[in-house]
Amino acid sequence: MDRRFCEQCGAGLGIEEIDGRARQVCPRCGTVFYQNPLPVAACVVLNDRREVLLVRRRYEPHRGEWCLPTGFAEVGETIEQAALRELREETGLEAAVFRLLTARSLASDYYGDLLFVCFEVEATGGAERAGDDAEEVAYFRLGDLPPLAFESHEEAVAICESLHREPWAIQDSFAHLYSDEPEGMLSDALVALVEERAGEICERWLGVVADHPTVAGYADIDLSEVRGAALEAMSHFCDWLQHPDESEMAAFYREIGRRRRTQGIRLEELLSALTLLRKEIWTFAREHQVLASPLDVYRVMELSRRVVLFFDKALHAAAIGYGDGATAAVPPR
């Protein structure tokens, strides 16, 4: 709003061009009166269900629409203090500022030039209730928000979600790490890779088996049968990662154990061959997954545990099958 008189000396104000703009200036004392945008502070509050707290506006502008808890900063308080005060007045929550999300300018027909500053805050006390300028308060899922009154609020929520995306994925990975429920496991990426490149992994493994001293007996048996068994083993591996059913997998490896004994393969050679297959799958996966972020590191931890768990069970079943096989003595070498 334009002033008529100087606040310093009371003289009537005039207009001068300063710094390329027409500004109000006192001709008597020379005071320049700058027009500044009104600062507006807002808070993004997330609950444990990863929902964001919104308020329904009681007054114009945008009456009846949803927005973040928000309001004007007052003289004598910092912008952070303004954000926390508005949150307390509109929602009943006490909080602490966690981080700055956005600072954006907005031209409003109702208020003029505004400066929206949005923080992510962490609730420390209080209880949710509608107060002050809010008709209603409610939490909404991040993927299912109502239209927000201010574009700057939509941007702040989107940035906040993006900043949490990777930490939440890590949390989800740990939540499933020691669970028998495979849904949402990050090892799904490994399943897709092995299913797509099983033949390539198998050929690499056969190349290792052909020269490795711990599996010398495999040189005397039909490698086409070994190749088929390896491909089937990887199929069971992928099936188990998605749906951990041990009965079918264990039956397959018991049969492998019995078959290798009748072929004259020593038990230690059988177990070494399976261990080499595990190593080849893991090496192939590592070569095709770049560890570029913390999430990738946790993915490796999760995949490592599940790969080892599967092959531990496979080795156990194969050893049982080997012991249940033909009673004929294994030819010495």
Cβ atoms of 127 and 88 closer than 8 Å: no
CA nearest 193: which of 281, 291, 312, 314? 281
Cα Rg for the chain, rounded, in angstroms?
A: 34
Which structure tokens are listed for 214?
């711990």
Contact 210, 219 (CB under 8 A): yes
In Å, what is the CA distance from 16 to each residue of 1, 13, 35, 175?
A: 17, 10, 14, 65
> CB of 54 within 8 A of CB of 135?
no
State yes or no: is 136 an active-site residue.
Answer: yes
CA dist 330 → 84, 158, 251, 267, 318 (Å): 78, 66, 23, 10, 16
**Among the options 7, 122, 136, 225, which is catalytic?**
136
**Residue 291: CA count within 13 A, CB half-sphere:** 9
Q: What is the dihedral of CA 151, 153, 158, 159, to 10 degrees?
A: 110
Task: Please give the Cα distance from 161 to 156 (Å, whole number).
Answer: 9
Write the DSSP assignment of 139-172 as a string of letters: EEETTSPPPBS-HHHHHHHHHHHHHHHHHHHHHH
Whether residue 142 contacts residue 52, with contact meaning beta carbons closer than 8 Å, is answered with yes
Q: How far apart are CA 37 and CA 24, in angstroms?
A: 16
Q: Give bridge partners of residue 97 from the DSSP assignment.
A: 121
Q: How many CB atoms lie within 10 A of CB 307?
A: 19
- Give me the active site residues, please: 136
